[in-house]
Structure 1
Amino acid sequence: MVEFFMNFNPVMQAFLATLFTWAMTAVGATLVFATKTINQRMLDGMLGFAGGVMIAASYWSLLGPAIEMSEDSVVGVWFPAATGFLLGGIFIWSIDKILPHLHPNAEMTDAEGYRPKKMKRSTLLVFAITLHNIPEGLAIGIAFGALANGGTESSLAGALALALGIGIQNFPEGAAVALPLRGEGMSRRKSFMYGQFSGMVEPIAAVIGAIAVAFIEPLLPYALSFAAGAMIFVVTEEVIPGSQEKGNKDLASMSLMFGFILMMILDVALG
């Protein structure tokens, strides 16, 4: 796998990696062809697992490397990581206030963003998962874009581990959109299309992130931390609360632990 990706430039590597993560979203959405109803415990467990993967990736794949790159920084080792992390959270917070969206377990009365009451539930659910996927795509793109600045085979393996981990957690995200829509009576085909559509933003965000850092090396630690801050904001503001609001707190918490462990193992073992 590593040898295959070494044949491409970092921007194309990021694009190919996020085609995989998009495909995993689509695979999760295919569950609508097997069932019409959604098991709430399963959904909450999958959301918790996704949160664990995102938390682990935020440190091992993003913040940790950003701090290492800043060891010789004139502004201090901590400054790029802290600044980028905060800006990432502010960025997603701003989108959260503007983009109409609805969490998978929420009622229409809990829809957020600008004038959400005038939009369909299906559209709001897709926008919610799309909001999750923006920082994930950026993270993958930035990780691969860093390779343009003297990356090694080991750092390429680390970027691939990040893409693999995010791809795995995209499976429940695709299901989290498609299954509720199917349960409300939407056709299997439409439910699937809405579910997989939410992953389309990741290749776009990845290419933008890869291009930005591939040609502006001083931005790299800030960019890595920016992606980490964006993901942590999504996890704490939406993923964890959404996984626990129906009462399955223990299941969601343990699933988060397993997701964290899996991503940690992938990053440490491969990266």
Structure 2
Amino acid sequence: MTDWLLDMNPILLALLATLFTWGCTAFGSSFVFSTKKANPKLFDSMLAFAGGVMIAASFWSLLAPGIAMAEEQGVPPYIPATIGFLLGGIFLMMVDKFLPMINEDLYFKEIKDRKAKHRTAMLVFSITLHNIPEGLAIGVAFGVLAADFPTSSLSGAIALAIGIGIQNIPEGTAVSIPLRREGMSKRKSFFYGQISGMVEPISAVIGAVAVIFIEPLLPYALSFAAGAMIFVVAKEVIPGSQERGHVQLATMSLMIGFVVMMILDVALG
């Protein structure tokens, strides 16, 4: 059923996948036009489900193929896995140190004053920068298909994109709704909410091109993407899904997401 997808250019597949994730960000931002409040339980379960998908994908779609590729290249497999994984986490830790993901005290306090434009720009830039590793992870997952390694998985790459897309829905809402609450128009709130996802298609294409044309980097790139994914899940996704008190619901949703991704990647890959 996926033969026609396998025949497509991996770079094009990565682009299409991240256009989907960008669309999910826009969908989340569109809740600013609704008069109804978004169901917090639904959003928390969606966020946790996406976290489970991303954890499973970090191993089966990224780390495991990277380890196998290192072995085929004659490199001790734990070296690129360790270096790449830790660098992915360290990179996001440094980003998070200078641009916290969503800090309402910093970005939304006194947003109506003369610094409002500066605060809004910083917020959008922060979210955008955090989306770069997600786009790179998708690009790497699709780009590795061109190398025709036996451990590469189209279903795993697709599932990773779906998981990140689901995670982007509440993320888009988390930007647009506070901006609207602080007096920005609905259209501008939506615009700033969805624009943060625009960087994912760009970074995905870069990631796919890099791994296709620089094959020795594949194990490191896959491990880097896995480390970035785990950092996002541990730092943002899990705490964000439980901060409103829906701990059990979020925990079970995360486990279900993990199982779904495992089935997709192991059974169908």
Matches of 2:182 and 2:241, distance apart in 1: 20
- For residues 71-99 of structure 1, the C-alpha deviation after alignment (integer angstroms, 9 at most, x for no partner) is 3454422221111101111111122223x
Mark the CA change 1:124 to 1:37 in structure 2 (over 3 Å): closer, same or farther.
farther
| Cα RMSD for the two superposed structures | 2.9
Give the share of equivalent positions with the same residue, in percent.
Answer: 65
CA contact (8 A) 1:102 1:121 kept: no
Matches of 1:11 and 1:248, distance apart in 2: 39
| Residue in structure 1 matched with residue 111 of structure 2 by the alignment | none
Matches of 2:156 and 2:241, distance apart in 1: 28
- For residues 99-147 of structure 1, the C-alpha deviation after alignment (integer angstroms, 9 at most, x for no partner) is x3442xx531599xxxxx9876644543454344222211111112212
Aligned mate of 2:139, from 134, 138, 141 = 141
| Residue in structure 1 matched with residue 33 of structure 2 by the alignment | 33
| Residue in structure 2 matched with residue 90 of structure 1 by the alignment | 90
1:108 matches 2:115: no
- For residues 222-269 of structure 1, the C-alpha deviation after alignment (integer angstroms, 9 at most, x for no partner) is 110000001111221222223333433333323322332333233234
| Residue in structure 2 matched with residue 206 of structure 1 by the alignment | 204
Mark the CA change 1:90 to 1:119 in structure 2 (over 3 Å): closer, same or farther.
farther
How does 1:54-203 map onto structure 2 within 5 Å?
A: 54-98=54-98, 100-103=99-102, 106-109=103-106, 122-150=120-148, 155-203=153-201
CA contact (8 A) 1:29 1:192 kept: yes
**Could you list the runs of 5+ residues in structure 2 that have no partner in the other structure?**
109-114
Letter of the 1:214 counterpart: I
Question: Mean Cα displacement is larger for which, 19-28 or 181-190?
Answer: 181-190
Letter of the 1:57 counterpart: A
Letter of the 2:95 counterpart: I
Matches of 1:19 and 1:3, distance apart in 2: 21
Matches of 1:43 and 1:127, distance apart in 2: 23
Matches of 1:41 and 1:264, distance apart in 2: 24
| Residue in structure 1 matched with residue 112 of structure 2 by the alignment | none
Question: Mean Cα displacement is larger for which, 192-201 or 157-166?
Answer: 157-166
Question: Mean Cα displacement is larger for which, 151-160 or 246-255?
Answer: 151-160
Matches of 1:137 and 1:209, distance apart in 2: 8
Mark the CA change 1:267 to 1:195 in structure 2 (over 3 Å): closer, same or farther.
farther
Letter of the 2:144 counterpart: A
Q: TM-score, normalised by structure 1?
A: 0.82
| Residue in structure 2 matched with residue 19 of structure 1 by the alignment | 19
Matches of 2:197 and 2:231, distance apart in 1: 19
Deviation at 1:208, TM superposition (A): 1.1
CA contact (8 A) 2:81 2:220 kept: yes
Matches of 2:69 and 2:214, distance apart in 1: 14
Mark the CA change 1:53 to 1:153 in structure 2 (over 3 Å): closer, same or farther.
closer
| Residue in structure 2 matched with residue 238 of structure 1 by the alignment | 236
CA contact (8 A) 1:36 1:183 kept: no
Matches of 2:87 and 2:127, distance apart in 1: 21
Question: Mean Cα displacement is larger for which, 202-211 or 1-10?
Answer: 1-10
| Residue in structure 2 matched with residue 114 of structure 1 by the alignment | none
Matches of 2:239 and 2:126, distance apart in 1: 14
**Could you list the runs of 5+ residues in structure 1 that have no partner in the other structure?**
112-116
Counterpart of 1:70 in 2: which secondary structure? helix
Counterpart of 1:68 in 2: which secondary structure? helix
Mark the CA change 1:152 to 1:12 in structure 2 (over 3 Å): closer, same or farther.
farther
Matches of 1:153 and 1:79, distance apart in 2: 18
Mark the CA change 1:44 to 1:87 in structure 2 (over 3 Å): closer, same or farther.
same
Q: TM-score, normalised by structure 2?
A: 0.83
Mark the CA change 1:258 to 1:84 in structure 2 (over 3 Å): closer, same or farther.
same
Letter of the 1:49 counterpart: F
Letter of the 2:145 counterpart: L
